[in-house]
Amino acid sequence: QTWLSLGTTSGSVAAGANTSVQTDITSSSLAAGSYSGTITITDPAASNSPQTVTVLLNVTAAPPATISLSPATLTFSVQQGANPTAQSFTIDNTGGSTLSWTGTDNQTWMSLSATSGSVAAGGNTSVQTNISSSSLAAGSYNGTITITDPAASNSPQTVAVSLTVTAAPAVIALSPD
């Protein structure tokens, strides 16, 4: 089998002695399933040649990707007529397979620096959240960022976004009388 190899393929053993042969398995390209192979040991001078060893290999599927977002909430505060500084959140993949994520937001005043990507098992990536609030009236606004991957074990996951726009201070203009 191409996934099965031996550390050494020939040698000699003295009468009454033994030796070990390392068996190497390369399973990274194999699909989940059961595989079998045979190792055959031969010596034309041995009365019981050949001898065989059966090798059984079970390859299990990698655990699915798992989405973990931090922080769970982004809070912005800005004075009317301005835009707040962007903030980032992190997408962690705490699962065993690659996370192929898609990100969406549900407000026109919010945008993401990236709306899709992939994260290897155990890895993470950062996504910046930008707020365009300069045209919004004073008040409180709420939105949600949703990260999905249909193959992830816990999809979808969300980040809550809170925006407070405060009224601009009143400007009093004095004119000389």
- The encoded tokens of residue 1 equal 């089998």
In 18-135, beta strands by DSSP E = 23-25, 33-41, 51-59, 67-70, 73-79, 87-93, 99-105, 110-112, 116-119, 124-131
Cα separation, 65 vs 92, whole angstroms: 10
For position 175, what pLDDT does the model report? 74
Task: Find out whether 128 and 88 touch, Cβ atoms under 8 Å.
Answer: yes
Distance CA 78, CA 83 (A): 7
* Residue 142 backbone phi and psi in degrees, to 5: -130, 145
pTM for the whole thing?
Answer: 0.70
What is the per-residue pLDDT for 120?
Answer: 97
Length of the chain: 177
* Mean pLDDT, range 121-137, rounded to an integer: 97
Higher pLDDT, 85 or 169: 85
Residue 173: predicted pLDDT: 72
Beta carbons of 69 and 89 less than 8 angstroms apart: yes
Q: Which of 76, 80, 86 is nearest to 141 (CA)?
A: 76
User: What is the CB neighbour count within 10 angstroms for residue 72?
Assistant: 11
Taking the alpha carbons at both ends of the chain, their separation in whole angstroms is 100
- At residue 165, the pLDDT reads 97
